[in-house]
Structure 1
Amino acid sequence: MEFLRPADWEEALAAKAAHPGAVPLAGGTDVMVELNLGLRRPERLLDLSRVRELHEWETAAGSVRLGASVPYATIMERLGHLLPGLALASRTVASPQIRNRAGVGGNLGTASPAGDAHPALLAAGAEVEAASVRGTRRIPVEAFYTGVKRNALAPDELIRAVHLPVADGPQQYAKVGTRNAMVIAVCAFGLALHPATRTVRTGIGSAAPTPVRADAAEEFLAGVLEEGRHWDTGRPLTPSAAAEFAALCAAACDPIDDVRSTARYRRHAVGVLARRTLAWAWEAHRARPDAFEGAA
């Protein structure tokens, strides 16, 4: 096995262009497990740990550009006020040691439906910045997942960064696992309320072949909030509306039976998580001091 270790981004792109089959190695959370278990034997590994810009982040024009290798610990400690949903998801990732090394780019590159970051990225409306020697493009995150552990990257492309809008409203995340740490999700759910556009976004993980959004649930809830003037008044949601939202989220799933859970339980659990995160997010919205300024 050949080990490629570029010193900078240009060298990394050149190496990937010359060897499209080279497997990128950053945090190594998934890649090293597969290597140690003998599940993968690539001809080449492309170590990106020395590429400085992958570990950097910046804010501009109401968005955050997050380098692919920015550790989850940094997201938790420094970006929670800007990206609350992703910060909550980061807290559920494995152990402190892994959170200090692993980043969002690894979740995206592996494209496992159980990746912890995916529901938060979907709910936030993230875009993936992919690059090659041919140029750079941005891919909406919902179009990035193309199948079980498959993504939209071309063979010569690498993930450079993720772009996320700064939260303009409450965001929530919840995960079900067999224990509280070092666990692959049985299912996970992300929710973001966007008062500025009066829209709702969701993200579901480990309950379909790819991470998915619950489109019908989003449309239903946005309609309820608009028609009932909830955005303007902050009045509580009715139990029936919350129940219907949860049912539509559960219906968006396409789960399987496996060693971690049954399909039936996953679908039920997603509905429970949807209802809980909606309650938390709506209460947070109602508690914002400027949410209803000037409301009739």
Structure 2
Amino acid sequence: MEFLRPASLTEALEAKAAHPDATPIAGGTDLMVELNFDKRRPSALLDLTGVAELAEWDTDGGSGGDPGGDPGGDTVRLGACVPYSRIIGELGGRLPGLAMAARTVGSPQIRNRGTVGGNLGSASPAGDAHPPLLAAGAAVEAASTRGSRRIPAAEFFHGPKRSALAADELVVAVHLPVATGPQQFSKVGTRNAMVIAVCSFSLALHPETGAVGTGIGSAGPTPLRAEDAQLFAAAELEGRWEAPGPLPDSVLRRFGELVAAAAKPIDDVRGTAEYRRHALAVLARRTLTWAWDDYRTGSWSRCA
């Protein structure tokens, strides 16, 4: 097995172009498990830990990734190799949904190594970072020696562990709008972290547009959005933003039903399709309740 260790993003892209079969490795929290159990044997590894450009985040307001700086800017550009622990510590106020999901990833050691870029690279339907990206309307920045492009998160996943990346491309960053309303994430598993989700759900409220974003994980061949549920919730919240009161139980239940209907689960060792649909309906009701309560009480900015 060949081992490639570029020192810059330019070198990394050149190495990927020269070795399109090379498997990128950053935290190694997924790949090393497969290597250790001899489930995968790539021809080459492309070590990205020495590429400083991938371990930075910034906003279009120019805060420079300083967690104590001004949170100006409407979009966060999150480098592919920024670990989950930094997302929790530095971006909880700007990206609360992603920070909540990051808290459920593995152990502290895994959160210190694992990255959103790695989650996207593996393109697993169960990736914890994926539902918040869908709910927030994120875009994935892919780059090669030919140039760079942004792929909407909703178009990035093509199937189980298959993505829109070309053979010579690397995920270099994710672009996420800074939250303008409450966001939530919840998942079902045998314990809160260090477990692959049986199913997961993320919700983002966008008061400035009246929109509602959703993301479903581990309940289909790819991460999914519940588009009918989004439209239903947006219609029900229209006229409530200015004078928000508690949501009727009928609205919450219908929202949960529509989220469950959007899922495409299967039976496997972690749970049945029927259970996943039931659990998603419950998660949808709860997260909408929590997010709306955060909005109407004015506490959403502190939810992360």
Band of TM-score, shorter chain: over 0.9
| C-alpha distance in 2 between matches for 1:290 and 1:6 | 41
Is 1:73 matched with 2:85?
A: yes
Counterpart residue type for residue 293 of structure 2 = E
Aligned to 2:117: 105
1:206 to 190, 201, 218: 218
Evaluate the alpha carbon distance shift between residue 261 and residue 21 of structure 1 in structure 2; reply closer, same or farther with a 3 A threshold. same
Task: Map residues 235-246 of structure 1 onto 2, 5 A cutoff.
Answer: 235-246=245-256
2-structure distance, mates of 1:13, 1:109: 15
1:57 matched to 2:57? The reply is: yes
For residues 271 and 27 of structure 1, the distance between their equivalents in structure 2, rounded to whole angstroms, comes to 33
Give CA deviations for 1:242-293 in whole Å, capped at 9, x if unaligned: 10000000000010111111111011000000000000000000011899xx
**Residue 225 of structure 1 is aligned with which of 237, 245, 265?**
237
Deviations 1:17-76 (A, max 9, x none): 001000000111111111111111111000000000111000113110000010100010
- What residue is the counterpart of 1:46 in the other structure? 46
Moved over 6 A (4+): none
Q: Does 1:143 align with 2:143?
A: no
1: distance between equivalents of 2:39 and 2:140?
27
Distance 1:70 1:122 in 2: 19
Counterpart check, 1:252 vs 2:255: no
Measure the CA separation in 2 of the matches of 1:12 and 1:225: 46
Give the Cα–Cα distance (whole angstroms) in 2 for the partners of residues 238 and 270 of structure 1: 19
- Calculate the aligned-residue CA RMSD, in Å: 1.2
Corresponding position: 1:181 with 2:193? yes
SS at match of 2:252: helix
CA distance in 2, matches of 1:83, 1:179: 24
Q: Which amino acid aligns with 1:45?
A: L
**TM-aligned CA distance change 1:2 to 1:127, over 3 Å:** same
Q: How many residues align structurally? A: 289
**What is the TM-score with the length of structure 2 in the denominator?**
0.94
Query: Are positions 1:265 and 2:275 aligned together?
Result: yes
2:136 partner letter:
A
290 and 88 in structure 1: CA distance in 2 versus 1, 3 angstrom threshold = closer
SS at match of 2:113: coil
Contact 2:126/2:199 (8 A) holds in 1: yes
- Find the counterpart in structure 1 of residue 127 from structure 2: 115
SS of equivalent residue, structure 1 residue 279: helix
Alignment partner of 1:30 is 2:42? no
Partner of 1:88: 100
Helix, strand or coil at the partner of 1:232: coil
CA distance, structure 1, for counterparts of residue 9 and residue 138 of structure 2: 22
Match for 2:253: what amino acid? A
Within the alignment, does 1:275 sit opposite 2:302 as a pair? no
Q: Normalization by structure 1: what TM-score?
A: 0.96
CA distance 1:289–1:192, change in 2 (3 Å): closer
Unaligned ranges ≥5, structure 1: 292-296
Separation in structure 2 between the aligned mates of residue 90 and residue 179 of structure 1, nearest angstrom: 15
Structure 2 vs 1, CA of residues 290 and 101 (structure 1 numbering), >3 Å: closer, same or farther? closer
Instruction: Select 1:194's aligned residue among 206, 210, 228.
Output: 206
- % same residue: 66
Q: Distance in 2 between matches of 1:65 and 1:14?
A: 22
CA contact (8 A) 1:230 1:236 kept: no
The answer to which of 202-211 and 179-188 deviates more is 179-188
Partners in 2 of 1:288 and 1:185 — Cα distance?
A: 31
